[in-house]
Amino acid sequence: MRNIVGAISQQKLIRALLSNMNIMGLEYEWIQGKSKVWIRKQLDDLGIEENLKAITWEYQGKQKVLAFNLSLPIIKKNVDLCLFSANNIEYDHGKIVLTPEKIVMLGELKGGIDPAGADEHWKTASTALQRIRSGFASKGIKIKTSFIGAAIATNMANEIWEHLIAGDLDYAANLTVDEQVIDYCNWIITQ
């Protein structure tokens, strides 16, 4: 069930990202997880969020690739959201993880909506984000980190805010608040 909730949350984020790109007039290419073939933006993009593994676009002369669920050698763990300063050729079917200096941002996505489990989702994400920061800092690489979650309790929101103020976390959003999802997607697109 956790995998289904995670997949639905990822699809919601992808759909919002595509909507933002369309509103901004950006062209993009996306890759299906199984085919590994880059597909140009089409007028009818219905359902691509179910198969999208990575997406690439250009914003103000900078190429970016956002990939989902990649295993990073530096931390030896899977990361939900991976933003790279690269194009689709440099992405090289995910082999870009071997070039950590291309990483712009790594993020955690927690889609569970049970308020009773909210703290647990945040603790898991917070631990993963700390592992990311420490792993990359040990290699002298500064990257941005983000968190987007569907269930955010008040005490958890306070802790997230503290991480934002301290600069440990670069962006956070509530997946159930449309304005925050839109802002988060804009932030990703413009990095």
| 24-36 per-position pLDDT tens digit | 999 999 998 777 7
- Give how many domains the chain has, as a whole number: 1
Cβ neighbours of residue 184 closer than 8 Å, sequence gap 6 or more: 13, 16, 146, 148, 171, 173
* Of residues 18 and 1, more confidently modeled: 18
Q: Which domain holds residue 54?
A: 2-190
| CA–CA separation, 126 and 54 (whole Å) | 24
User: 1: pLDDT confidence band, cut at 50, 70 and 90?
Assistant: very low
Q: What is the CATH number of the domain that holds 152?
A: 3.40.91.10
What average pLDDT does the chain have?
89
Q: With a threshold of 0.95, does the pTM exceed it?
A: no
The tens digit of pLDDT for each residue in 102-139 reads 999 999 998 765 655 556 767 888 888 999 999 999 99
